[in-house]
């Protein structure tokens, strides 16, 4: 059996991508240590790493691929023009994370 782990990326600053790489590798390593790939973990589950990448962050996709992630680059599921609420439609472009 295999468990899929996913991260999402909506922005990419290639000038400071070291932090992204560090975080991705630390997460993958932690999962690896607790998976069937590490017999001492006692786990019976393998894993696969996924990165769901917004099209405007595609420049960071190769970095995540090299870190062992299966990368899926996609546009947003809802375009700003489709948003009914005025405030959100007018400010969604400022969004950087998690509805904050």
> pLDDT digit string (tens) for 82-96?
999 999 888 887 776
Q: What does the alpha-carbon distance between residue 37 and residue 87 come to, in Å, rounded to a whole number?
A: 48
Sites in the chain below the pLDDT cut of 70: 96-100
Residue that is written with structure tokens 């190769």 in the block: 62
User: For residue 21, which phi and psi values (nearest 5 degrees)?
Assistant: -60, -45
Percent of the chain with pLDDT over 90: 66
Tell me 34's DSSP state: T
pTM for this model (two decimals):
0.82
């Amino acid at each position: 059996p295999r468990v899929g782990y996913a991260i999402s990326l909506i922005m990419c600053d290639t000038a400071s991508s070291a932090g992204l790489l560090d975080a991705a590798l630390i997460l993958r390593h932690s999962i690896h240590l607790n998976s069937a790939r590490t017999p001492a973990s006692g786990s019976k589950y393998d894993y696969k790493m996924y990165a769901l990448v917004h099209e405007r962050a595609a420049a960071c996709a190769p970095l995540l691929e090299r870190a062992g992630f299966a990368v899926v680059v996609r546009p947003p599921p809802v375009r700003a023009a489709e948003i009914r609420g005025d405030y959100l439609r007018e400010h969604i472009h400022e969004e950087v994370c998690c509805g904050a």
